């Protein structure tokens, strides 16, 4: 699927240029405190441009262990983007390998360390983590062309894999790469997610959300489907409480799973242009919405506004840690870290050499990793010191992942999948 970005970039370029010039910092270095104000219950977290501002890293780890090192997009069903393991501190490349097309989809990691990665060419690879060589491949027969929408497979607790293809199919595969079943959706599937290993949620490009129950002996049953908009590029996020969030058109949409049916609980549209990224969900129930407009938005569970941060023009899905820190990349080549409870910017990383379209990843030591449109993979420590900038040879649209043995997996538009560490 070709993303809306290609079609809307020219239309928004003039309005974005001024914002980028005002938001872009000149160099790395210590930064001042962000300014905050509060009106009608909404925190306006200004002061989001400028040079680096280090994080006073909490003692508690940013992520919690899951049944596999990195089983889904942004690590888990809540999109924490945080690993309980430590990532690389140097830019040593363990291996690189070329796939069939742009590596826009994000890789995931199974319980035994197997890496599951695909490209826009529609082939899923089961990859040996030590060598980067294929253990098996599965060709979906679909082709995503030159699109820049990043979606990831889902590794289930029973080790089966759900593969969202560039076509309209969500395909279940065995750990050996054999097809088990297929669900055909109205549009291109986004990243599937599960909180309990029994019910799976998947969005699609036509603005639908589908709930699928996994049955005994590798079977499945579609429980319900609900339409939430006309166009969606966002993946579903949930904490497993029966409330899901997705993005459609220019809105954040809350959906309640009622068991046999799904129903839209509320929809909030800040009229800040279309959104192309997935929502983030904090432990306190705050949901984040990034748009192609000029702000990052946050809403309470009941749909009331929590805060917004202007001058954050983002194609980067937010990662929200277990402690409630939200990491957001933007077009000003910065990563902002917000306290989701107050909306205050508590840290800032960069600027780097290009706009940030990948998601952000955080490890146990609050090291930060992401990719840039300048074709580099970046690593920073919590204090804002750059650990590495590895040249990948092509812009990064994909969502990175971390392995249990400390490797960063990251794809680039030139068809390369790279393991760093």
- Tokens 């082939």 — which residue? 123
255: helix, strand or coil: strand
d(CA 189, CA 166): 8
Q: In 3D, which of 372, 130, 102 has the Cα closest to residue 117?
A: 102
The answer to whether 238 touches 78, Cβ cutoff 8 Å, is: yes
Q: Which pTM does this prediction carry?
A: 0.88
Domain count, the chain: 1
- CA Rg value for the chain: 19
The answer to whether 148 touches 185, Cβ cutoff 8 Å, is: no
pLDDT, greater one: 372 or 57: 372
Residue 218 DSSP code: G
Average pLDDT over residues 207-235: 94
d(CA 300, CA 252): 12
pLDDT, greater one: 2 or 415: 415
The answer to whether 407 touches 70, Cβ cutoff 8 Å, is: no
- Residue 401 CA neighbour count, 13 Å, CB half: 33
The domain that contains 265 carries what CATH number?
Answer: 2.130.10.10
Average pLDDT over residues 309-338: 93
d(CA 361, CA 349): 13
Task: Report pLDDT digits (tens) over 32-50.
Answer: 222 222 222 333 344 445 6
Q: Assign residue 174 a region (left: φ > 0; alpha: ψ between -120 and 50; beta: otherwise).
A: beta
**Residue 11 above 80 pLDDT?**
no
Task: Report pLDDT digits (tens) over 76-131.
Answer: 999 999 999 999 999 999 999 999 999 999 999 999 999 999 999 999 999 999 99
Q: Locate 345 and state its tokens.
A: 């910017």
d(CA 313, CA 331): 6
Q: What is the pLDDT of residue 52?
A: 76
What is the average pLDDT score of the chain?
88
Angle at the Cα of 167 from the Cα atoms of 164 and 168, rounded to 5 degrees? 75
Determine whether 84 is exposed, middle or buried from the number of CB atoms within 10 Å of its CB (0-12, 13-18, 19+): middle
d(CA 309, CA 297): 7
Q: What is the pLDDT of residue 51?
A: 64
Task: Report pLDDT digits (tens) over 126-169.
Answer: 999 999 999 999 999 998 887 778 999 999 999 999 999 999 99
14: helix, strand or coil: helix
Domain encompassing residue 76:
4-420
């Amino acid at each position: 699927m070709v993303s809306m970005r290609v079609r809307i970039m020219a239309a928004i370029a003039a309005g974005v240029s001024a914002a980028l010039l005002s938001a872009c910092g000149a160099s790395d270095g210590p930064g001042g405190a962000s300014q905050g104000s509060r009106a009608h219950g909404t925190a306006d977290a200004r002061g989001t441009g400028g040079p680096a501002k280090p994080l006073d890293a909490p003692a508690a780890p940013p992520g919690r262990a899951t049944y596999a090192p990195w089983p889904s997009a942004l690590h888990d069903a809540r999109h924490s983007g945080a690993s309980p393991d430590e990532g690389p501190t140097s830019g040593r490349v363990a291996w690189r390998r070329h796939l069939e097309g742009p590596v826009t989809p994000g890789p995931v990691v199974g319980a035994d360390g197997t890496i599951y990665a695909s490209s826009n060419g529609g082939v899923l690879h089961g990859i040996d983590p030590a060598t980067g060589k294929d253990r098996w491949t599965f060709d979906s027969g679909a082709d995503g062309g030159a699109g820049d929408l990043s979606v990831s497979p889902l590794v289930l607790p029973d080790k089966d894999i759900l593969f969202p293809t560039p076509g309209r199919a969500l395909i279940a595969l065995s750990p050996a790469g054999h097809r088990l079943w297929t669900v055909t959706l109205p549009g291109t599937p986004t990243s599937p997610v599960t909180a309990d290993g029994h019910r799976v949620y998947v969005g699609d490009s036509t603005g639908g959300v589908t709930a699928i129950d996994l049955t005994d002996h590798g079977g499945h049953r579609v429980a319900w489907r609900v339409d939430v908009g006309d166009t969606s590029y966002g993946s579903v996020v949930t904490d497993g409480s029966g409330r899901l969030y997705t993005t459609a058109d220019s809105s954040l949409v809350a959906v309640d799973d009622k068991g046999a049916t799904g129903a839209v609980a509320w929809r909030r549209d800040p009229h800040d242009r279309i959104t192309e990224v997935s929502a983030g969900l904090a432990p306190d129930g705050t949901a984040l919405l990034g748009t192609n407009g000029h702000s990052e938005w946050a809403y309470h569970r009941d749909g009331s506004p929590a805060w917004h941060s202007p001058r954050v023009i983002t194609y980067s899905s937010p990662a929200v840690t277990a402690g409630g820190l939200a990491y957001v990349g933007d077009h000003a080549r910065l990563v902002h870290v917000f306290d989701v409870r107050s909306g205050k910017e508590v840290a800032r990383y960069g600027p780097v050499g290009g706009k940030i379209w990948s998601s952000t990843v955080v490890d146990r030591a609050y090291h930060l990793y992401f990719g840039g449109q300048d074709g580099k993979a970046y690593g920073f420590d919590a204090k804002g010191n750059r650990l590495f900038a590895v040249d990948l040879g092509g812009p990064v649209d994909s969502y990175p992942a971390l392995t249990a043995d400390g490797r960063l997996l990251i794809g680039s538009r030139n068809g390369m999948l790279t393991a760093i560490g």
